[in-house]
């Protein structure tokens, strides 16, 4: 596509009234927003006029989603949260001059925020878009570029309860009661389905690693006090404390949810503030503050943008609490020159007083003044660094030669290396009597572990050098191990399903136990995290007896929705079992390729369906919480009604997603009943009925919650979809049972 084509698309899709034919609403897409200024002033002015005229009395915008269907403007009966966000973003992007219009629109969003920090879903159809919360946070964490309403840019990722919106020029932004919640981008509500109709991935909880470096490595009482502050923070798991006497520095490693790690880092900083005095500090490692550096690192189900948000919230709260200067570095840097940590830390503590006087070194947060006992802190976001060494029976020089070939820096600007985001050098490990190509993998998703290993093996082979295993120093994310396993499974055409087996495969392929045992529960971050928080007390972790007793207890949850999800998981498990009872047997050897294709979908479905056991109960709890909201005034009654409607839509979304997920298994079921071990025919018959029962249960749960939803369009669409899913399940079950009866 030629470079200007996207702009031409925007230009030609604009209608005479300033709207766009593609959507017929003022809710502009990202492409349209970015294209305005590059098109023409005429279309920009038309957009301003269109958006301002269509504004409702309360200051919001209420164009209905029927606008998309009918290709004309259709007005809702009240302002819509998502369209208000989009309209405000559009007006800000074209530099709309009237700040009062922007302020009034933002006030609508603040007034409509629910007590739990969330926003009501309204008429937003989750199968098409993100939730309302995402759009609110997308707006409220960006910079409007309007003088009277300038908000600090943090990230386009949502914040959570506890991170107050902080303003710099408007009382509206400085209200102390304005708070964000964990917006449901992808993990809170399985009812939010992607374009393909499947739930967003929710295989595990969000996990962020925080690695604060404190300038004290000699006083045990100080080191222990900081460690204790982290350990006592709810939701934080302290994994490692690494003090250095010569560096006079201690590196702490802990993990937790985004909210928890921010609180853990703040607790540690508050403790250190009273115990570390930088005026008397000395050590070999570069440093500029008591809490010298504090990076936030995505580990599991967390984006880099969310870690940037962690960084901003931490930096702002740290500067507010301790009144100290904080710089942002890495992915959180606002200024390119501050992306590099050595650049931020240049001059170290001793030069900080003069550095803070320079305009170009004004802190991102906090005062440009030296606090002698503290210094300054660098807070940032970066990807997980994996320290990975490959063992060679060679000289140090030969190992270094290979390191120069593979590392990104290579031998200099004129001779770059092969692997991006890889640092490397060669050394001799005296205690093991072998050489190593020692690497830091700065981005394991760009350059995976196996890529480094295989490239070293190729270079070593060219030099006739033996590779004798490798070594991961420190911790490693589970994803890095599983990505490596997937590579070898695909390359060698292996059939490995279980996570435990995949990890064992990687240990074997890379020789990770060559210099000592590689114990997954001690080396893989996710395996080290104790499931001790309340959030981790999941229904699926209960024994069968406990689960059944919980269902039978005098409580609303777990109920039919959770039971339906569990029945679905058992149906998928039976399908998987039949495949396993067929695969690898001599008499069915000709069917091995078929089973290799049919078993994985069942295995994957088991894990996804089990997640819905808890998801259903959590979704219903939103509605139950709304019922308990106060209703002593008209305003409270309105808020309660909005929250109830939002809760009902969530309660509908989970079982609808369950039915969608189950029905994806029918093609595999129809094949499995034809080719699976005939001795297991009855198991497949039970599996089919279990899956049908699960869809029926999902249907009934959708219908009972749907009747109280006031959005008639949503009700009609959802009812039609649920009925179609139920019919598909019944017809597919009949087909499977009929095929089973014909097998002898």
Q: Which residues are catalytic?
A: 285, 616
Query: Is there a contact between 192 and 168 (Cβ–Cβ < 8 Å)?
Result: no
Write 274-279 long-range contacts (CB < 8 A, 24+): 275/216, 275/219, 275/222, 275/225, 275/226, 276/214, 276/215, 276/216, 276/222, 276/373, 276/374, 277/373, 278/215, 278/349, 278/372, 278/373, 278/374, 278/375, 279/372, 279/373
Strands 377-381 and 326-330: parallel
**Pairwise CA distance, residues 264 & 271, whole Å:** 11
Helix (H) or strand (E) holding 732: helix 712-741
Helix (H) or strand (E) holding 655: helix 634-663
CA 739 to chain centre: 43
- Number of C-beta neighbours around residue 322 at 10 A: 20
Q: Which residues pair with 330 in a beta bridge?
A: 381
**Pairwise CA distance, residues 110 & 114, whole Å:** 9
State the alpha helices, DSSP H only, in 239-281: 258-273
Is the alpha carbon torsion for 565, 567, 568, 574 positive or negative?
A: positive
The tokens describing 639, both together, are: 């808020």
Q: Which residues pair with 295 in a beta bridge?
A: 380
Please name the residues in contact with 70: beta carbons below 8 A apart, sequence gap of 6 or more.
24
Please name the residues in contact with 508: beta carbons below 8 A apart, sequence gap of 6 or more.
none
Strands 377-381 and 291-300: parallel
Greatest Cα pair distance, the chain, in angstroms, is 88
Token pair 């029905």 is found at 663
**Pairwise CA distance, residues 153 & 140, whole Å:** 9
**Pairwise CA distance, residues 462 & 206, whole Å:** 43
**Pairwise CA distance, residues 232 & 209, whole Å:** 16
Nearest to 406 by CA among 440, 432, 382, 444: 440
Nearest-Å Rg of the Cα atoms of the chain is 29
Is the alpha carbon torsion for 168, 172, 176, 180 positive or negative?
A: negative
Nearest to 483 by CA among 456, 515, 521, 443: 443
**Pairwise CA distance, residues 415 & 574, whole Å:** 57
**Pairwise CA distance, residues 291 & 373, whole Å:** 11
């Amino acid at each position: 596509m030629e470079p200007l084509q996207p702009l031409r698309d925007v230009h030609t899709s604009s209608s005479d009234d300033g709207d766009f034919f593609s959507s017929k609403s003022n809710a502009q897409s990202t492409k349209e927003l970015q294209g305005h200024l590059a098109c023409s002033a005429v279309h920009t002015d038309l957009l301003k006029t269109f958006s301002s005229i269509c504004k409702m009395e309360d200051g919001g915008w209420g164009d209905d989603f029927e606008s998309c269907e009918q290709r004309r403007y259709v007005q809702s009966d009240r302002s819509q949260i998502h369209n208000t966000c989009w309209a405000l973003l559009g007006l800000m992007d074209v530099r709309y001059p009237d700040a009062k219009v922007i302020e009034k629109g933002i006030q609508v969003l603040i007034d409509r925020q629910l007590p739990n920090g969330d926003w009501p879903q309204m008429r937003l159809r989750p199968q098409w878009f993100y939730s309302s919360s995402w759009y609110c946070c997308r707006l409220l964490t960006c910079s409007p570029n309007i003088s009277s309403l300038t908000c600090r840019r943090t990230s386009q990722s949502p914040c959570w309860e506890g991170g107050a919106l902080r303003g710099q020029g408007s009382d509206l932004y400085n209200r102390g009661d304005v708070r964000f919640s964990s917006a449901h981008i992808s993990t809170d509500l399985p009812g939010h389905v992607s374009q393909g109709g499947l739930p967003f991935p929710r295989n595990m909880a969000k996990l962020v690693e925080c690695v604060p470096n404190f300038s004290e490595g000699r006083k045990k009482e100080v080191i222990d006090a900081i460690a204790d502050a982290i350990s006592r923070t709810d939701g934080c798991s302290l994994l490692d404390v690494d003090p250095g006497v010569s560096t006079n520095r201690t590196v702490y490693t802990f993990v937790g949810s985004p909210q928890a790690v921010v609180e853990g880092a703040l607790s540690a900083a508050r403790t250190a503030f009273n115990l570390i005095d930088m005026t008397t500090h000395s050590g070999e490692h570069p440093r500029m503050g008591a809490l010298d550096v504090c990076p936030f690192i995505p580990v599991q189900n967390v984006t880099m943008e969310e870690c940037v948000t962690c960084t901003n919230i931490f930096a702002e709260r740290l500067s507010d609490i301790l009144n100290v200067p904080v710089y942002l570095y890495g992915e959180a840097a606002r200024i390119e020159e501050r992306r590099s940590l050595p650049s931020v830390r240049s001059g170290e503590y001793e030069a900080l007083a003069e550095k803070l006087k320079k305009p170009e070194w004004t802190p991102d947060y906090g005062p440009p003044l030296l606090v002698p006992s503290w210094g300054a802190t660098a807070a940032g976001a970066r990807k997980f660094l994996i320290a990975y060494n490959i063992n060679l029976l060679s000289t140090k020089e030969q190992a270094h030669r290979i390191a120069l070939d593979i590392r990104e820096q290579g031998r200099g600007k004129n001779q770059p290396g092969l692997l991006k985001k890889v640092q490397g050098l060669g050394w001799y490990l005296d205690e093991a009597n072998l050489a190593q190509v020692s690497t830091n993998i700065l981005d394991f998703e760009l350059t995976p572990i196996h890529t480094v290993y295989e490239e070293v093996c190729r270079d070593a082979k060219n030099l006739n050098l033996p590779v004798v295993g490798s070594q991961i120093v420190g911790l490693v994310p589970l994803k890095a191990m599983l990505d490596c396993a997937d590579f070898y499974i695909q390359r060698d055409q292996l059939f490995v399903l279980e996570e435990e087996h995949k990890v064992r495969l990687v240990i074997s392929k890379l020789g990770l136990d060559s210099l000592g045992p590689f114990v997954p529960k001690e080396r893989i971050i996710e395996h080290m995290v104790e499931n001790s928080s309340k959030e981790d007390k999941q229904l699926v972790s209960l024994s069968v007896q406990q689960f059944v007793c919980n269902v039978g207890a005098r409580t609303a949850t777990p109920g039919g929705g959770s039971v339906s999800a569990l029945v679905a998981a058992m149906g998928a498990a039976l399908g998987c079992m039949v495949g396993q009872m067929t695969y690898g047997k001599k008499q069915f050897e000709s069917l091995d390729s078929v089973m290799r294709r049919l078993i994985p979908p069942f295995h994957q479905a088991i894990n996804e369906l089990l997640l819905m056991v808890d998801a259903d109960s959590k979704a219903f709890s939103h509605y139950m919480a709304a019922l308990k909201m106060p209703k002593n005034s008209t305003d409270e009654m309105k808020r309660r009604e909005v929250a109830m409607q939002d809760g009902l839509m969530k309660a509908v979304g989970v079982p609808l997603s369950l039915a969608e997920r189950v029905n994806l298994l029918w093609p595999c079921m129809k094949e499995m009943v034809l080719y699976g071990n005939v001795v297991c025919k009855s198991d497949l018959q039970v599996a089919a009925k279990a899956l049908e029962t699960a869809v029926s249960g999902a249907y009934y749960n959708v219908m009972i919650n749907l009747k109280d939803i006031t959005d008639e369009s949503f009700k009609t669409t959802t009812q039609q979809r649920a009925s179609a899913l139920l019919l598909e399940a019944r017809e597919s079950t009949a087909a499977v049972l009929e095929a089973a009866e014909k097998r002898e």
